[in-house]
């Protein structure tokens, strides 16, 4: 009787051999397992970001004021334009990957090669664009002042944020960055800011048209609150240092936690895109030398395509959380 049961169940369970659950090969199933586990990882990161933002919603940096740069358009206020372009390029690379997979099903080596090449180019442009965004975020746009309690205050004129360079007068002084070559003992540290706290305070007093913006957001206008001149002077009396740009310690745009999450999550996603580019390049050269023609199928293109589509889909959520919401 035991033999009869075994005969009845033969071929119904998957042993990694010829039987294919849902019509998928062992390799594709493993790729799906990886994608699901990685999706849970990204979900945890984005959930942590969402909870932190909700907790500090009234002082969170405004994306339209942070991501305003566009290549070769210095000084032009273009909020979110370049990020939108980056997103379009990545999504378009997903389309070319679909076309590469379809060409593989038809055993069309020439088209697989062409569409894989376009996919790789799209990925490289996206990673380069992310690096450019990081550079501008780290460098900063306006400059700000950090108070003794850790809060960030910015400056505005006629209701619009202005840079320190727009009103601060720098006085000649001897300030030397501490480097390995100019001292007997060397300990690395932050570079000196362009302006001192004293110069910022003095210039603020000398320019009555300039006002102070605090971190808190007005719930009605969805903009940072601009305080009166007298309140501004009270805030500046607690000034601790001048902040230019963003890093893991301080952020000129507001909460340092925003910078922490931005660097970590976009960096983690960027690493995934870079890994996908490397995989695509390997598959691309295998296509050129005819590896998959000899095998009689282009399943490897389909496998790496699954990963690429996952990376693109994750970016849609990252884009939504960081830039749109």
Using one digit for the tens of pLDDT, what is the confidence trace for 220-256?
Answer: 888 999 999 999 999 999 999 999 999 999 999 998 9
pLDDT value of residue 312: 96
Q: Is the pLDDT of residue 6 over 50?
A: no
Q: Provide the token pair at 148.
A: 């003794």
Kind of pairing, strands 210-218 and 239-243? unpaired
Residue-wise pLDDT tens digits, 83-113: 999 999 999 999 999 999 999 999 999 999 9
pTM: 0.84
Q: What is the pLDDT of residues 11-42, one digit of tens each?
A: 444 455 555 555 678 888 899 999 999 999 99
Average pLDDT across the chain, whole number: 88
CB 16 within 8 A of CB 26: yes
The domain spans of the chain are 25-140+258-324, 144-244
Nearest-angstrom CA–CA distance, 210 and 111: 60
Residues 6+ away with beta carbon under 8 Å from 239: 145, 146, 147, 148, 153, 197, 200, 201
Residue 281 token pair? 């390049």
Which pLDDT score, from 0 to 100, does residue 9 have?
A: 46
CATH number for the domain whose boundaries are 25-140+258-324: 1.20.120.80
Among 168, 153, 254, 258, CA closest to 206: 168
Q: Residue 176: is it exposed, middle or buried by C-beta count within 10 angstroms (0-12/13-18/19+)?
A: exposed
pLDDT at residue 28 in the model: 87
Contact between 222 and 63 (Cβ < 8 Å) = no
Q: Give the relative orientation of helices 81-105 and 109-139 as an angle to the nearest 10 degrees.
A: 160
Q: With the C-alpha atoms ordered 230, 231, 236, 237, is the resulting torsion angle positive or negative?
A: positive
Instruction: Give per-residue pLDDT as tens, 283-307.
Output: 999 999 999 999 999 999 999 999 9
pLDDT higher than 70, residue 175: no
Arithmetic mean of pLDDT, 66-81 = 83
> If pLDDT is split at 50, 70 and 90, which confidence band does 3 have?
very low
Q: Closest by alpha carbon to 318, among 139, 135, 126? A: 126
pLDDT (0 to 100) of residue 172: 65
């Amino acid at each position: 009787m035991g033999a009869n049961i075994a005969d009845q169940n033969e071929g119904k369970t998957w042993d990694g051999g010829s039987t294919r659950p849902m019509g998928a090969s062992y390799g594709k199933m493993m790729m799906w397992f990886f994608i699901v586990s990685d999706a849970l990882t990204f979900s945890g990161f984005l959930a942590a970001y969402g909870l932190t933002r909700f907790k500090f919603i009234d002082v969170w940096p405004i994306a339209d004021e942070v991501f305003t740069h566009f290549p070769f358009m210095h000084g032009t206020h273009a909020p979110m334009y370049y990020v939108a372009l980056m997103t379009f390029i990545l999504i378009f690379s997903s389309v070319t990957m679909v076309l590469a997979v379809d060409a593989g099903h038809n055993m069309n080596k020439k088209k697989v090669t062409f569409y894989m090449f376009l996919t790789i180019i799209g990925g490289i442009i996206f990673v380069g664009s992310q690096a450019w965004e990081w550079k501008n975020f780290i460098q900063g746009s306006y400059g700000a002042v950090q108070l003794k309690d850790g809060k960030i205050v910015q400056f505005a004129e006629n209701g619009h944020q202005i840079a320190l360079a727009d009103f601060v007068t720098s006085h000649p002084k001897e300030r030397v960055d501490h480097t390995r070559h100019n001292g007997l003992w060397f300990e690395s540290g932050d570079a000196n800011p362009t302006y001192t706290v004293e110069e910022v305070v003095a210039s603020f007093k000398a320019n009555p048209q300039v006002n102070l913006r605090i971190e808190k957001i007005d719930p009605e206008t969805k903009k940072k609150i601009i305080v009166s001149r007298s309140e501004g002077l009270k805030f500046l009396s607690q000034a601790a240092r001048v902040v230019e740009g963003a890093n893991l310690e301080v952020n000129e745009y507001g909460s340092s936690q925003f910078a922490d999450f931005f660097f970590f999550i976009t960096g983690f996603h960027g690493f995934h895109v870079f890994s996908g580019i490397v995989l695509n390049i390997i598959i691309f050269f295998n296509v050129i030398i005819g590896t998959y023609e000899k095998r009689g199928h282009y399943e490897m293109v389909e496998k790496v395509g699954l990963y690429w589509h996952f990376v693109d889909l994750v970016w849609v959520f990252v884009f939504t959380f960081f830039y749109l919401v």
